[in-house]
């Protein structure tokens, strides 16, 4: 009845336009959620590492994009129409390298101890946030967007679809296809899944499980870096920007089914769309509460998430 009273204020045509526009607005949020959750699904779902610093890798990717944007704007303005594609690659590489170093010197000593990884990565999160403040300041910053990411596509008089949202959707689809290929159609993915299933047997078969762990963790961090580059198209970056997404990202991964790529996609899409549409009719906080209640209700019925991985007992 509560929702029916809200909907009565609008005509059928207005409701249709609202749902379409909010749906496409939700696709931008879905793209960031998905890129973040893909990385966390690999780190948390496959490696059982609770990476509380995952949001800071989004911030690393975002600041990399902002810095590259400033350099291009100042020194080679002719590159502005093309720089963003290069910035995405740089954001991935920067986050990948930082993730590789953190795994090698800290996380590698904590496998099999999830609570220890939680505390250690939470400390890393605080360290990185303070490093961002000391390096870039506490004020928000933003990247200069190329013209082809500005404006909107208007299929009708009442519907305007942001071009940056369409680009983010395309990028998230491409990255998802790459991750699926790597995990299920490559020798590296085979080694990752073998290590997850039975580490001792994998080592006996000649798989360097330490190298697999390092590259897997770094790949998850690199995907968060790409999410950071995507984030700059819809918002300004601050030292704490990544921490605003970490809780939602964990919810996406757990709700979808830890380690399930398909579940992560469905979960990210459902949560982003529900949150975006509800925020139009309700306050932002109330919309998040309703979405969380729905998730809790579904998890009571399906405690392993939407798509549970089948494991041979």
**pLDDT tens figures, 211-228:** 888 999 999 999 999 999
What average pLDDT is seen over the chain?
84
pLDDT the model gives residue 277: 79
Burial class of residue 159 (count of CB atoms within 10 Å of its CB; 0-12, 13-18, 19+): middle
- pTM summary value: 0.87
C-beta atoms surrounding 137 within 10 Å: 11
Write the pLDDT tens digit of every residue in 152-161. Answer: 776 666 666 7
> Cα dist. 193→42, 117, 186 in Å?
10, 21, 11
CATH top class, domain 20-147+160-301: mainly alpha
Q: Which residue would you say has higher pLDDT here, 101 or 151? A: 101
What tokens appear for 188 in the block?
């590296």
Does residue 60 surpass a pLDDT of 60? yes
Distance CA 260, CA 248 (A): 17
Has residue 237 got a pLDDT over 70? yes
Residue 220: CB atoms within 10 Å: 29
Contact criterion met (CB below 8 Å) for 40 and 250: yes
Cα–Cα distances (Å) from 242 to 62, 63, 201, 249, 263, in that order, read: 9, 11, 37, 10, 23
Taking only the tens place, the pLDDT of each residue in 123-136 is: 999 999 999 999 99
């Amino acid at each position: 009845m509560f929702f029916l009273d809200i909907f009565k204020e609008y005509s059928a045509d207005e409701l249709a336009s609202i749902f379409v526009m909010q749906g496409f607005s939700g696709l931008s949020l879905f793209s960031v959620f998905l890129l973040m959750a893909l990385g966390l699904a690999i780190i948390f779902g496959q490696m059982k590492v609770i990476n509380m610093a995952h949001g800071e890798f989004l911030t690393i990717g975002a600041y990399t994009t902002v810095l590259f944007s400033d350099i291009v704007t100042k020194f080679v303005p002719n590159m502005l129409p093309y720089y963003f594609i290069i910035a995405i690659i740089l954001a991935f590489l920067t986050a990948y390298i930082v993730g590789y170093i953190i795994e090698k010197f800290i996380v590698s000593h904590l496998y099999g101890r999830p609570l220890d990884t939680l505390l250690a990565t939470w400390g890393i999160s605080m360290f990185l946030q303070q490093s961002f403040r000391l390096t870039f300041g506490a004020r928000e910053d933003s990247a200069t967007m190329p013209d082809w990411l500005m404006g909107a596509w208007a299929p009708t008089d009442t519907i305007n679809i942001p071009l940056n949202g369409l680009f983010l959707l395309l990028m998230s689809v491409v990255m998802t296809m790459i991750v699926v290929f790597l995990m299920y159609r490559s020798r590296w993915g085979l080694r990752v899944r073998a290590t997850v299933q039975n580490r001792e047997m994998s080592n006996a078969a000649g798989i360097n499980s330490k190298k697999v762990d390092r590259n897997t963790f770094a790949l998850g961090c690199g995907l968060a870096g790409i999410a950071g580059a995507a984030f700059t198209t819809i918002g300004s970056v601050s030292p704490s920007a990544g921490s605003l997404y970490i809780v939602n990202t964990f919810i996406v991964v757990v709700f979808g089914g830890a380690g399930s790529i398909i579940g992560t996609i469905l979960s990210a899409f459902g949560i982003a769309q529900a949150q975006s549409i509800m925020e139009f009719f309700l306050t932002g906080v109330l919309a998040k509460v309703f979405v969380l209640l729905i998730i809790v209700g579904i998890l009571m019925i399906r405690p392993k998430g939407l798509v549970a991985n089948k494991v041979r007992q």
